[in-house]
């Protein structure tokens, strides 16, 4: 295997779609990220009138309350069906809102909707828009492939395939505040919003289709978590979640880094303070002691700080 090898990215593709949505916004094709999604996808109202209360920004932050099962080990789950259906748009036209809450809940169908918004706003297929706005301007070295359904609709949430070097170039774009060799492809404000650890804390570690790198310790009850937080010198925060039907509490602090992540341990990791990009693709991560994310963060911690590239 050499540098020309093409790798599947799974959900790393989501960060490309978020980037394209911002470019469409900068071009005025998405007039405001606070526009209701029904302004671009009016047919959503036929499925559920509640979509008129959901904004493009809500979709970017996965705060829509959409009804969708994000289970990967069942062939009958909504996300797996979305990955295999021959008609993605027909599936999207049936999605409903399950909750009025705007809390962050990771659902891949949000990215598929975001891709549809970009296509509706720009009049371009997602792969074509990617080629025009990122692939050619950034001098990507290899052809990419974006898996589509039988009607040519890209599976926006999962299925962009490219080389390691070309995935790394997305990281470099963000590392350099949206500037590519003197051309400002992304607004610096957009990039800094994503890279800001305090912003990521407010948004529960997920903003504009990027994950925050963070230390997390889980506890069986809130008292243990709060006692741990009180004993720390750094700023740690209390969180709560559900795993396998059981409520757990967590203490976490946000690190000055972000990443795009795929379900089998694919990563595009960006650490601006260390002028560092780490890309990991390949097979499923199966280390017996720690997750791929922890390995990458530990690796980053071993590298001394450097001045950012210009």
CATH code, domain with 146: 3.40.710.10
236/151: higher pLDDT: 151
Q: Tell me whether residue 269 is in a domain.
A: yes
- For the chain, how are helix, strand and coil distributed in percent, rounded to 5? 40, 20, 40
DSSP 123: S
pLDDT for res 308: 47
Q: Tell me whether residue 15 is in a domain.
A: yes
For residue 234, give both structure tokens. Answer: 């750094």
Q: Which of 97, 128, 163 is the last residue of a domain?
A: 163
Q: 21 and 158 share a domain?
A: yes
24/283: higher pLDDT: 24
What domain count does the chain have?
A: 2
Of 73-87, 140-154, 157-171, 195-209, which gets the smallest average pLDDT? 195-209
Q: Tell me whether residue 79 is in a domain.
A: yes
Task: Say if residues 59 and 95 touch (Cβ distance below 8 Å).
Answer: no
For residue 250, give both structure tokens. Answer: 């967590």
The CA distance from 275 to 85, in Å, is 41
Q: Tell me whether residue 2 is in a domain.
A: no
Q: Which of 101, 128, 163 is the last residue of a domain?
A: 163
Q: Which of 138, 163, 188 is the last residue of a domain?
A: 163
Q: Tell me whether residue 307 is in a domain.
A: no
Q: 139 and 191 share a domain?
A: no
Q: Tell me whether residue 171 is in a domain.
A: no
User: What φ, ψ does residue 237 adopt, rounded to 5°?
Assistant: -130, 155
Domain that holds residue 287: 179-301
User: What φ, ψ does residue 211 adopt, rounded to 5°?
Assistant: -95, 145
Q: Under DSSP, is residue 234 helix (H, G, I), strand (E, B) or coil?
A: coil
253/222: higher pLDDT: 222
The CA distance from 136 to 131, in Å, is 6
Q: Give percent above pLDDT 70 in the chain.
A: 95
Q: 49 and 100 share a domain?
A: yes
pLDDT for res 17: 98
Q: 108 and 242 share a domain?
A: no
Grade residue 310 by pLDDT with cuts at 50, 70 and 90. Answer: very low
Q: 210 and 260 share a domain?
A: yes
Centroid of chain to Cα 233: 30
Pairing of strands 183-184, 206-207: unpaired
Q: Would you say residue 305 has pLDDT above 80?
A: no
Task: Say if residues 276 and 300 touch (Cβ distance below 8 Å).
Answer: yes
The CA distance from 237 to 256, in Å, is 15
Q: Tell me whether residue 174 is in a domain.
A: no
Q: 199 and 290 share a domain?
A: yes
User: What φ, ψ does residue 99 adopt, rounded to 5°?
Assistant: -145, 145
Q: Would you say residue 296 has pLDDT above 60?
A: yes
Q: 214 and 113 share a domain?
A: no
Q: Under DSSP, is residue 180 helix (H, G, I), strand (E, B) or coil?
A: strand
For residue 171, give both structure tokens. Answer: 């990281």
What rounded mean pLDDT belongs to the chain?
Answer: 92
Q: 147 and 214 share a domain?
A: no
Q: Tell me whether residue 306 is in a domain.
A: no
Q: Under DSSP, is residue 251 helix (H, G, I), strand (E, B) or coil?
A: strand
Q: 101 and 209 share a domain?
A: no
The CA distance from 172 to 168, in Å, is 6
| Residue range 46-96, pLDDT digits in tens | 999 999 999 999 999 999 999 999 999 899 999 999 999 999 999 999 999
223/282: higher pLDDT: 223
């Amino acid at each position: 295997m050499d540098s020309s090898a093409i790798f599947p990215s799974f959900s790393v593709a989501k960060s490309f779609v978020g980037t394209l949505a911002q470019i469409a916004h900068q071009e005025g094709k998405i007039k405001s990220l606070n526009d209701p999604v029904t302004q671009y996808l009016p047919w959503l109202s036929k499925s559920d009138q509640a979509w008129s209360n959901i904004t493009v920004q809500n979709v970017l932050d996965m705060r829509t309350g959409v009804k969708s099962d994000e289970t990967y080990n069942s062939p009958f789950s909504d996300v797996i069906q979305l990955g295999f259906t021959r008609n993605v748009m027909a599936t999207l036209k049936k999605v409903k809102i399950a909750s009025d809450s705007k809390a962050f809940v990771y659902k891949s169908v949000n990215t598929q909707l975001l891709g549809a918004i970009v296509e509706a706003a720009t009049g371009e297929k997602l792969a074509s828009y990617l080629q025009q706005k990122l692939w050619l301007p950034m001098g990507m070295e290899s052809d990419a492939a974006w898996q589509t359904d039988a009607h040519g609709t890209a599976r926006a949430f999962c299925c962009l395939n490219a080389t390691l070097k070309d995935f790394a170039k997305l990281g470099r774009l963000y590392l350099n505040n949206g500037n590519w060799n003197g051309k400002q492809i992304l607004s610096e404000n957009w990039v800094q919003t994503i890279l800001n650890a305090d912003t990521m804390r407010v948004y529960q570690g997920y903003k504009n289709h990027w994950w925050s790198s963070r230390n997390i310790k889980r506890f069986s009850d809130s008292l243990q978590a709060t006692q741990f937080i009180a004993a720390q010198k750094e700023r740690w925060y209390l969180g709560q979640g559900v795993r396998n039907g059981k409520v757990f509490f967590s203490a976490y602090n946000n690190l000055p880094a972000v990443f795009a992540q795929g379900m089998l341990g694919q990563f595009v990791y960006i650490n601006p303070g260390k002028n560092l990009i780490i890309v990991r693709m390949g097979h499923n991560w199966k280390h017996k002691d720690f997750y791929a994310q922890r390995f990458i963060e530990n690796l980053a911690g071993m590298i001394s700080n450097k001045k950012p590239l210009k």
